[in-house]
Each structure stands twice: as C-alpha cells, then as structure tokens.
Amino acid sequence: MKLLKRNWPFHLMILPSLIFLIVFSYVPMAWIVMAFQDFKPRLGISGSEWIGLDNFRYLFEREDSVQVILNTLVIAVLKMVANLIAPFTFAIFLNELRKMFVKRFVQTLVYLPHFLSWVILGGILVDILSTDGGFVNRIITNLFGIEPIFFLGDGTWFRITVVVTDMWKEFGFGTVVFLAALANVNPSLYEAAEVDGASRFKQTMHITIPSMIPITIVVGTLALGNILNAGFDQIFNLYNPLVYDKGDIIDTFVYRAAILNGQMGFGTAIGLFKSVIGMILIVISYRLAYKLAGYRIF
C-alpha cells in the first residue's frame, strides 16, 4: 500500500495509454469468440449459433483458403530471403565508396521508396508495368524484341513482381543496420591487415563480412516472425482477380471474406489462426535472436 502511494504518479502516467490499449487491443481480443460461431452481426454474440471448430475445419477443407496459406508462405519466404541478401550485399559495396558525397547521393536515392506508401508505389507500378505501353514493357520490347510481359496479370510473374518491387522499396533502407554495424568495426583491424599485406578483397572476406554476421542473424531471425505476413498493403494495391490463384494472401482473403462477403466468423477464425502462429513464431525468433546474438528489445 505504501509502495502504491509513492508510485501513484507512475500509475497515472501509464493510465491514458492503458485505457487505449484495453479498448483497442484487448477488447477486440475478447471478440475472438466469434471464430467459434456462425456469427451474424444482427444476432450478436449471444444470439449467434455456436459451431465449435467448424470455421477452422472449413479453413483447411476449402481449396481456396489452403491455396491462400500456401501463397502467403511462398511470397513471405521469398521476400525474407531477398530482403536479407540484398541489403547485406549492398552494404558491403556501399562501404567501399571512399567519396562521401557519392555515398550520400546513392543513399539518398535508394532510401526514398521506403518512405512512400504502397498506394503511391502501387499507382506508379500499375502504370509502368502495364502491358499496354507501360514504361517497363516498352523498354523490354525495344531492347529484346519480345512480347510485353504480364507482370500483374500472370500468377507466376505476379509473385516475382511482388518480391522484386518489395526489394526495390526496402533494400536501401535495410542497409542502415548493416552500415551501423560496419561503422563500429575497430579501424585498427584494417590497419593490422594492411601491415600484413592483405588485399582489400581479403580484408572484406575476413574483417568486413564477419563483423556483419551478428546483426545478420538478428535481422534474419526476427524476420521469421513475419512468415505469415506477406505484405497486405503491397498485395492489396497490386493484385486483381486474374492473379488470385497465386497472389492472394491470408490478409487480403480475410478482407474479402469477412468485410466484403460478410463471413465474419470464418474471417475471425483465419485471423486467429494467423495471430496464434505469428505469436509463436515471434516468441521463438526473439528467443533465438537473444541466444544467438544477445539481442533484446529493452
């Protein structure tokens, strides 16, 4: 009681945030019970019929929802790998630039897409990737003399486009953590290697790359938690019914099933499935990052 008295300002400072968290994070969690109902908005929780695990069974029996889970995994894993390798490689080359203004110039341009939303980038991509004289297809047909490519209309090309454009948006900014790791390398290591007559390539192989390994492990393991997040914003702004078979992901599927088609209980069940798997993966990945590289959030 005495402790509480002395600490009342602390509780008071947290209170506003706590109220918001309860209303907008914890109350929705209580509504998860809809996942076990054939939920009808006008009947509410008490009036809707309880159907046990039927929604979940439905999820794994329906061909389209299984396909959607598969699409999510494929796209998310490809993105994970691309978004680890690209910034890693780019940071090594960027680190070799000796002229600061060139480095600054390159960084300024490649960081930019990170700050623009997928609505802006989607609008640009839909235009330049169009088969009807889009900028990219114009270049391809002029250069190689082949037919225009259906980047956003063909399932396989759609997946490739999604991964590559996500890389375009994020690889530049992704180098920040790697460059920070490189800035912390003790210069005397390079000086010693120099004295021993090591070439720059050898220095890169034996000093630069090893010093990036810990942060690479952290970035890589933390990305594991996103294995069911294939990027709602991006997919939603690029996809169309033509590529649903290979490009539709869990989040876009939930949006259409629940919000557009009113299958509230089913939508909640998929969301719950995703949240639970996501939570387990996040816990595992943070444990791993802590074990492998001593990483903690606070």
Partner 1 sequence: MYHKTLSYRIFNTLNTSGLILLAIVCIIPLWHVLAISFSAKSAADANLVGLWPVDFTTEAYKKTINNPVFLGSILVSIKRTIIGTAITLVLAFLAAYPLSKESTVFKARTIYAWIFVFTMVFNGGLVPFYIVIQKLHLMNSFWVLVLPGAVNVYLTILMLNFFRGIPKELEEAALIDGAGHFRTLFTIFLPVSLPAIATLALFSMVFHWNSWFDGLLYLHDAKSQPLATFLQTVVIQRDMSTMSMSPKEMELLSQKTVNAAQIFIGALPILVVYPFLQKYFVKGLVLGSVKE
β-pair partners for 244: none
Closer residue to partner 1 (CB): 128 or 217:
128
Q: Which of 152, 212, 272, 289 binds partner 1 (CB under 8 A)?
A: 272
Token pair listed for 38: 């054939």
Contacts of 135 (CB under 8 A, 6+ apart): 127, 128
Closer residue to partner 1 (CB): 62 or 138:
138
Judged by CB under 8 A, the chain residues 148 through 167 that form the site for partner 1 are none
DSSP 248: -
Q: Within 13 Å of residue 261, how many CA atoms lie on the same side as its CB?
A: 10
221 and 230 Cβ atoms separated by less than 8 Å? no
Token pair listed for 92: 């090594």
Site string for partner 1, 98-117 (x = CB under 8 A): xx--x--xxxxxxxxx-xxx
With binding defined as CB under 8 A, does residue 267 bind partner 1?
yes
67 and 159 Cβ atoms separated by less than 8 Å? no
Q: Which of 87, 122, 231, 247 binds partner 1 (CB under 8 A)?
A: 122
Stretch of 3-11, 68-76, 151-159, 206-214 lying at the interface with partner 1 (CB under 8 A): 3-11
Judged by CB under 8 A, the chain residues 24 through 83 that form the site for partner 1 are 24-32, 34, 41
CB of 267 to partner 1, least distance (A): 4
Judged by CB under 8 A, the chain residues 193 through 232 that form the site for partner 1 are 194, 198-200, 203, 225, 232
For residue 160, give the H/E element and its range.
helix 155-183
Closer residue to partner 1 (CB): 10 or 60:
10
CB of 55 to partner 1, least distance (A): 11
CB of 102 to partner 1, least distance (A): 6
288 and 110 Cβ atoms separated by less than 8 Å? no
CB of 156 to partner 1, least distance (A): 22
Residue 284's nearest CA partner among 225, 243, 233 is 225
Dihedral (CA of 266, 272, 275, 281) sign: negative
Only one residue has tokens 């594991």, namely 224
Closer residue to partner 1 (CB): 85 or 279:
279
With binding defined as CB under 8 A, does residue 192 bind partner 1?
no
Token pair listed for 83: 């978004």
Stretch of 18-26, 49-57, 62-70, 149-157 lying at the interface with partner 1 (CB under 8 A): 18-26
CB of 25 to partner 1, least distance (A): 4
Phi, psi angles (nearest 5°) of residue 248: -75, 135
Closer residue to partner 1 (CB): 44 or 210:
44
Closer residue to partner 1 (CB): 14 or 53:
14
Q: Which of 78, 94, 149, 207 binds partner 1 (CB under 8 A)?
A: 94
β-pair partners for 37: 50
With binding defined as CB under 8 A, does residue 290 bind partner 1?
no
Q: Which of 125, 152, 207, 228 binds partner 1 (CB under 8 A)?
A: 125
CB of 216 to partner 1, least distance (A): 14
Please tell me the distance from the alpha carbon of residue 16 to that of residue 170, in angstroms, as a whole number: 34
Residue 68's nearest CA partner among 210, 195, 228, 261 is 228
